[in-house]
Amino acid sequence: MKIPVILNQKKIVLEAEPSEKLLVVLRREKLYSVKCGCGKGLCGDCTVLLDGHPVPSCTIPVGMVRDCKIITLEFFQTFPIYSDIISGFAQAGIHLCGYCNAGKIFTAYEVLSTYYRPDREQLYSAINMFDCCCTDRDTLANGILYAVAAKHTREGRHKNVKK
């Protein structure tokens, strides 16, 4: 079956069975930032941005993503907000293990793009959505808060303040 999608901002047609997992199809496209973890949507290793929101690609049949926008970590690295997240993580002492990077980074992205200044509850409800294999929740929360600060610095902290 031919499934048209916008993958990393390029219009392409995926050749796959509609019931195949998006994870499998993306790895076949040699997008290896999408890792195979639990296969149950718990661990976050296979996270991608689907129409701007992080989703576990292991629980999504590829037939459901027709005409959707998919962004993987390979392409996300070109976004300025990626640098904010990485610098925030570094400040918090988070070392990326390589296997659950997508889960951590896209979770941070979701928080950063949803809330201007996330509170503790918002932060932890986003973090609790996945089971990170290498970083504890408090450290990850700190990393996201540092990333928020880095984003504000880059965008200009007072850009919305009326003169």
Nearest-approach distance from CB 30 to other proteins, in angstroms: 6
List 29, 129, 131, 152, residue binding other proteins (CB under 8 A): 131
**Per CB under 8 A, 134 contacts other proteins:** yes
**Per CB under 8 A, 61 contacts other proteins:** no
Please enumerate in sequence order all residues whose Cβ is within 8 A of that of 72, keeping only pairs 6 or more positions apart, or say none.
Answer: 7, 8, 26, 31, 33, 34, 48, 49, 102
How many residues touch other proteins (CB under 8 A)?
A: 25
Considering beta carbons, is residue 50 or 103 the nearer one to other proteins?
103
List 136, 153, 155, 157, residue binding other proteins (CB under 8 A): 136
Collapsing DSSP states into helix, strand and coil, what is residue 69? strand
For residue 156, is it left (φ>0), alpha (ψ between -120 and 50) or beta?
left
Considering beta carbons, is residue 70 or 100 the nearer one to other proteins?
100
Between CA 23 and CA 32 the distance in angstroms is 10
Considering beta carbons, is residue 6 or 36 the nearer one to other proteins?
36
* Count of C-beta atoms within a 10 Å radius of residue 16: 19
Tokens describing residue 47 = 């996270």
Q: Which stretch binds other proteins (CB under 8 A): 59-67, 95-103, 108-116, 149-157?
A: 95-103
Nearest-approach distance from CB 73 to other proteins, in angstroms: 11
Considering beta carbons, is residue 37 or 150 the nearer one to other proteins?
37
List 95, 117, 158, 163, residue binding other proteins (CB under 8 A): 95
Spell out a b/e string for 95-131, using b for 16 or more CB atoms within 10 Å of the CB, else e: eeeebbbbbbbbbbbbbbeeeeebeeeebeebbebbe
User: According to CB under 8 A, which residues from 12 to 31 bind other proteins?
Assistant: 30
